[in-house]
Structure 1
Amino acid sequence: MIWYKKLEINLKNLKKNLRALKKFLPKNTKILPVIKCDAYGHGLLEVAKALSEEEIFGFGLSEPEEALTLRKNRLSQPILFLSGFEKDWLPEMYNLKVTPVVTNFNTFEWLNEFVKKRNIKWEFHLKVDTGMHRFGLNFSELAQFIEKLKNFPFLKLTGLMTHFSCAENPEHELTQFQLKRLKEALEKLKNNKIIPKYVHFANSGGIIFLPEKGNLVRPGISLYGSYPTFKARELIKLHPVMTLKSRIVEIKRLKKGEYAGYGPNFKAKKTTLLGLVPVGYGDGYLRSLSNRGFAWCKGKKVAVVGNVSMKVLYLDITELESPQIGDEVILLGGENEEVPADELASLAGTISYELFCNLGKSIPREYINA
């Protein structure tokens, strides 16, 4: 048994967000939802099953354990490991029918060695670093890569991809540079009679903001109801998928001048009621929200005050009408987005991705699909 706290995962809203993103896409564009890291804390298998009920192409993952979970549950859609792979993953990747993503010459050589030894053919995608300087083959090495590929008959390149640093800002010089570089990479391949079936680069921000989308897109954060930028709220309506709920388990009345919590980091300026909620940084609620965050209780916004502890935080409930032990509290999300993830993350000096992933690690999830 644990203190009352739960993450409600609204799968209906997940599907709504996917459909909202689809409206930005040209007809016949394939969709590869990114569900790595336990679907950003929302639950890998449940999210995959829900999205499988929609018209999608496959899934973007990171590691073999994720792929194994999907295959064990009879999800047969294509799977891409978006950030490359380790050499010793290859046997399992082949058995699980994962499409490898080559990100450098090491992964390229490993892949060729694997298929050549077994006399098998394998399709793969090539990830090119077009300027973000994260995963991807250096653009300057592309000519060498092409020459090698000509001598690797067991491998077939079926996809070309890159990842944009700031796709939500299409006018930024880096976005323009990355798009130009990707087109140059595609032209080099075509000039050598290598024609990728799929060209993909658009994440959530790219889907919403870029005029060009490619023929395969990789929505991530917006599936879960978060906006790539606050400006995106003007263009698309998303619905919160994750809601964190708990209850007030104790109420403390402070006189003017009295302190609360570690530090102490809160001093009452007047007679104050504090509601103790059994959620803290040990549950993934960020300590950086101390004296900054907010919640929703009895139809009103209430402030997080004092330092967030490992298993408890304080809410200032002074202005609530007749607050009681047992009153429900929304700490994130809500049916009407009472506590927007993007706003809360901004107050914490981070992004919604971190909030979702942290909270999803330890708090029990309850799925809503109606």
Structure 2
Amino acid sequence: MKPVGVALVGYGYAGKTFHAPLIAAAEGLRLDAVVSSQGEAVKADWPDAKAVADLDAALADPEVGLVVIAAPNALHAPMARQALEAGRAVVVDKPFTLTVAEARGLADLAQARGLLLSVFHNRRWDADFLTLQALIAAGRLGRILRFESHFDRFRPQVRDRWREADTPGAGIWYDLGPHLIDQALVLFGRPLAITADLAILRQGGQATDYAHAVLRYEDFRAILHADMTSPAPDLRFSVQGDRAAWIKSGLDVQEDQLKAHGRAGGDGWGLDPRPGTLVDGLTGARTPTDDASGDYRRYYDQIALALRGRAPNPVPPAQAIAVMEVLEAGLLSAQRRGEQPL
């Protein structure tokens, strides 16, 4: 069967590092065009893809059946709307949009047009997250009492890039918050409320570089944390249950593998060299866990099948809207300095 032509909009960090190689690796998809001002870089990396100047040019290509939006966050909603109105299926990089209202509007449009609309929440396919899902499902930890999830980095110098500028959709809450929130919702569902503290800690900073949020569930708490000011960014997960705890250090390796090789797959793909540690609640015995392998390729593999009606959408709009509702509630909580119900 002929592969679906894909137009990738944006060839910055997300487009170059994640989307292009993962699209190219997916059976049933073909990277047909890249919308970018970096035409020479696109042709050097992907000689079989066309480098085009704007979304209009990509939409004029009848071979394009799927548009992937990896442009700056403030462009997600208008570009996704343009592609849907042109009759194309759409994948949007996280965050889905800047507001819940925008997200709901896109979902309604996709449903009305009968088009696939999905959001790239790739961290569902991290090795450590898949391992944690399996541990919880098997009851290895018992009843969860406290869940702590971190994306900490040490970047004390403010960089000259849109993600750190004083612009809509910039800052760490929009950048890493969707990953943290989506994983919590996949594991535990919708919380009752959120209390969030968002701040700019670095000298000369213009966008949020510190985010600490507590999701209140009926009988436990989920703590989500991301910052750019941790000299020893090590802890990824600390999950306490009434039978055992699970502690994981270090980030999933796939991002570094994609940066190093520019392609997805190969020897050691998605294999985490730092397994998690299971701590027995009664004896305190610590044993390494048999961790799963991560694989971001599964997202676009399922997109290809979903376009043909052979599999469900891997991240349907309703799930992405739920992430946006928590993200937006976190913004309100930080502004009001108090708990925000959900």
TM bin (shorter chain): 0.3 to 0.5
Instruction: State the TM-score, normalizing by the size of structure 2.
Output: 0.34
TM-score of the pair, normalised by structure 1: 0.32
Rg larger in structure:
1
